[in-house]
Structure 1
Amino acid sequence: MHMLSLWCASVEAAAHVFVSTDEISRGSDLIEISGDDGRHLSRVRRIGVGEVITVADGAGLWRVTEVESVTNTSVFLSPTTEVHLEPVATPLLTVAFAPAKGDQPESVVASLTELGVDVIIPVITKRTVLRWTGDRAEKAGERLRRVARSASEQSRRARLPEVMDPQPLARLAGSSGLVVASRDGGSVESLKEPGPSGWILLIGPEGGLEAEETASLGEVESLCVGPHILRSATAPIAAAGMLWSRRF
């Protein structure tokens, strides 16, 4: 095994799927993709014998395979490369956003996943329209994790992002590397280099955080995302893209 980024490898694959760490590490043994993923590949994508598919375990391990055989419910893959390890991108990037109604949370999570965000946290503020608590918060978290997994396959990620259940804003108070998106904020170049935990980017709800909420967070930096007022579905993506650029 050696360190190699999947996106740097320039593999022309027909699909990308997640399997267990055990399956990806079995040497030359065939890997079976069954269940929903197997049916999707065989019936919807109509994957054929000889096509190239990349597989990953969601924690950084990945390898290239070739389709050995296909049934109505399963696809059998033969590994064609050794197992590689995707390097951890630094600084780590966490995005906490206040979800709005409709399919906005799902859209935001999908886009943040495509960008390469490491941790995604829906946060509940005083002005947050959606009030996810208890069982509803747990179900929302499960739904958003499914969205992130699908977006990770589409965007060919080797590492799945951690998507947390909705959290109260107070959970972020005192966090190191906390950056709040604000029209009065500074440029991305002005932000200090974060510590080992990276940046935690906070995007408030439409209407913004209340003054006492901002004060309760403790020492934070602020980032200007532009001169215009952005919708709650746009701001997390724009701000995350700015911080993502600091990785290179």
Structure 2
Amino acid sequence: MADRLPSATRFLGDTRAASVIEFALILPVLLILMLGGIQLVTYIDASRKVGLIAQSISQMISQAMPPSGSTVATVTAADLHFSYDSTLVLFPYLLKDAPRQGLQWWQDIAITYAAVAFTRTSSNCTGGDLSACYTAAVAWTSSGTTGGNYRPCKVPQLPAADTTPPNRTTLPRSVFGPGSIVAVDVVFNFRPTFGARFIPAVRIARSMYVQPRYAALVNFDTTGNDGIAVKCPGF
């Protein structure tokens, strides 16, 4: 018995393999934290790029120049395709994400365009909120782009709180007023690279509302239209 005690003591005091066991236990946690951090950074970047797409495209469309003597500018299907294709420059992540899901890049993101014209309905407009004094009607809309989230013709755009998430039939109250706006809505479903089977896609939606810079209205010229947009009745 006395001879066995030193052996048992040495066995219990031997810590040569302890670090290996600790590393084996901690490694999965470290990997999860590392991969989770990478996905978080990718998601934040995707959110920023979706907002940048909405901002950039709306600025492109809003800068259409009217012909001499007119206050109405026009854009064509070619203009819409050109601005749509700029997405690849702004958000190259689509070139990796779309093939991973068996999609074309333009099927991986939904970008819709519309011009909305405001008509004054009341002369008693006071304060900063003009939504009660104007009605909003869609002049043209990009019904041919991916996603089916386009703003429909013949459906009035209703005022909503500025903090309300983007919706195809509402506009923030703060954009109501004289003239018109160009509305660009972008939706991207972010799917994690790791753990996609267990983590649902996160919807990233951003909208931008910009007044035309050089015209009272940016309308749609149907010449050469391939179905990307439709001009609404009355415009």
TM-score (norm 1): 0.22
Bigger Rg over Cα: 2
Query: Higher relative contact order at CA 8 Å, sep ≥6: structure 1 or structure 2?
Result: 2
